[in-house]
Structure 1
Amino acid sequence: MDKNQLGVQYMQEGKWEEAAKIFNELIEENPVDPIAYINFGNVLSAVGDDDKALKFYERAIQLDDSAAVAYYSAGNIYFSNEQLDQAKKMFETAMKKGLETSDNYFMLGLTLVQMEQGKFALPYLQRSVELSEDDAEARFQYGLCLAQLELIDEAIVQLEKCVELDSEHSDAFYNIGVCYAFKENGAKALEMFNLALEIQPDHLLAGHAKKLIEKNQ
């Protein structure tokens, strides 16, 4: 196992100090290796040092402006800090540099949803699901985006696939209920709200929606 693989293994095990030590050694041995800077940045991001992590991603990009993963990793930091314009730019650049992964499409779609640009988010969320069919959260966000655009039948299909993959996803059951309420199918909506509440008894939105349906029956 080479040092990079060892460092990544330490990260997977949550051994951040050991991982940082390995990547620091790699940078000292080869100061022009962008991968070591990206990995060190990932360690720093994992322990909450976002500012320093961004500097390492920037250094990786200076060394190799086609290092797509560096843009993606920087995008995640900007997204988590609600710097959505910067996040969007990074995810788009990662895609242009060849990073066609489910995660990158998902994060770009999610960023556009947060920016209230659901129509533009939709194809990226759809592509994310196509590349990772068993990702329940990708299905959920894709379904949610479809619902927000009032593509209700298509939304139900995706949200139902989400709960097939994750039977404990209370928000998905709640949103299926909302879709059925939109279609004026009160009985089916109530069934879904009850399922959401079985999983999460303190689900306030499902509780409120259930009361509304029962009141109007």
Structure 2
Amino acid sequence: MDKNQLGIEMMKEGKWEEAAKIFMEEIEANPTDAVAYVNFGNVLSAVGDSEKALKFFQKAIELGGGGSAYYSAGTLYYENEKYDDAKTMFERAVKEGLHTSDNYFMLGMCLVNSGNSRLALPYLQRGVELNQHDSEGLFQYGLCLAQEGLLDEAIDQLQKCLKIEPKHADAYYNLGVAFAFKENKQDALSMLEKALEIQPDQELAQNTKTLLESMDQQAH
């Protein structure tokens, strides 16, 4: 096992100091190894040293670290809510050939957080096409579709999310809202009740359920 792989194993075990030591040894032995700079930056990012981590990602980019270096930098910007900078990095990662579900998902989420749901749709869609078992990807894609008024498509994605993660309270809540907009009160209430079974303190689900029930009573 080479040092980069060994360091990654340490990271998986949460042994950050050991991982950092291994990556630093690799950088000292091979100062042009872009992968080691990315990995060391990921350790720094994980322990909260964003500023220093970014310097290592930038060095990796200079050394031709490709898509993974841009992706790591993008993730760091995203975590610090710098969505425009993050979007630029994820777009560069795509240009460098990083066509992974995670990269497309993160690119979509940058646009969602910048208030551009419509522009986010193709990226979130591509993300779930590449990984159909990503419950969070399916959930966010479903939310985005709902925001754009594409309720049938949103319901389909949220139901797929629940097949993978049956206790996803927010997916049940948003399904309830989608059914309510389609004036299907029975299914809406059923979904909201399931959301509350999983997460009894979910105020949005409780408030929506109360509203639908009061409307039902007024109708009678």
Partner of 2:123: 124
| Matched letter for residue 99 of structure 2 | E
Partner of 1:55: 55
| Matched letter for residue 95 of structure 2 | K
- Displacement of 1:67 in angstroms is 1.4
Q: Does 1:214 align with 2:219?
A: no
Partner of 2:29: 29
- Displacement of 1:195 in angstroms is 0.2
Distance (Å, rounded) in 2 between the aligned partners of 1:63 and 1:166:
40
Question: What aligned pairs does 1:87-106 form with structure 2 within 5 A after superposition?
Answer: 87-106=86-105
- Displacement of 1:62 in angstroms is 0.9
Question: What aligned pairs does 1:1-217 form with structure 2 within 5 A after superposition?
Answer: 1-64=1-64, 67-217=66-216
| Matched letter for residue 134 of structure 1 | H
Distance (Å, rounded) in 1 between the aligned partners of 2:169 and 2:101:
23
- Displacement of 1:213 in angstroms is 0.6
Gaps of 5+ in 2: none
| Matched letter for residue 115 of structure 2 | E
- Displacement of 1:24 in angstroms is 0.3
Distance (Å, rounded) in 1 between the aligned partners of 2:4 and 2:88:
28
Normalised by the size of structure 2, how large is the TM-score? 0.97
Gaps of 5+ in 1: none
Distance (Å, rounded) in 2 between the aligned partners of 1:61 and 1:73:
10
Distance (Å, rounded) in 1 between the aligned partners of 2:6 and 2:82:
33
Distance (Å, rounded) in 2 between the aligned partners of 1:58 and 1:4:
18
- Displacement of 1:186 in angstroms is 0.9
Distance (Å, rounded) in 1 between the aligned partners of 2:30 and 2:172:
51
**Share of identical aligned residues, percent?**
62
- Displacement of 1:116 in angstroms is 1.0
- Displacement of 1:33 in angstroms is 0.7
Q: Deviations over 1:51-108 (max 9, x none)?
A: 11000000001111x5111111111111111111101100100001100000000000
| Matched letter for residue 179 of structure 1 | A
Distance (Å, rounded) in 1 between the aligned partners of 2:59 and 2:3:
20
- Displacement of 1:119 in angstroms is 1.1
| Matched letter for residue 109 of structure 1 | G
Distance (Å, rounded) in 1 between the aligned partners of 2:184 and 2:118:
26
Give me the CA root mean square deviation: 0.7
Q: Deviations over 1:129-175 (max 9, x none)?
A: 00000110000000000000000000000000101110110000000
Normalised by the size of structure 1, how large is the TM-score? 0.98
Number of positions where the alignment pairs a residue of Structure 1 with one of Structure 2: 216
Distance (Å, rounded) in 2 between the aligned partners of 1:150 and 1:62:
43
| Matched letter for residue 49 of structure 1 | D
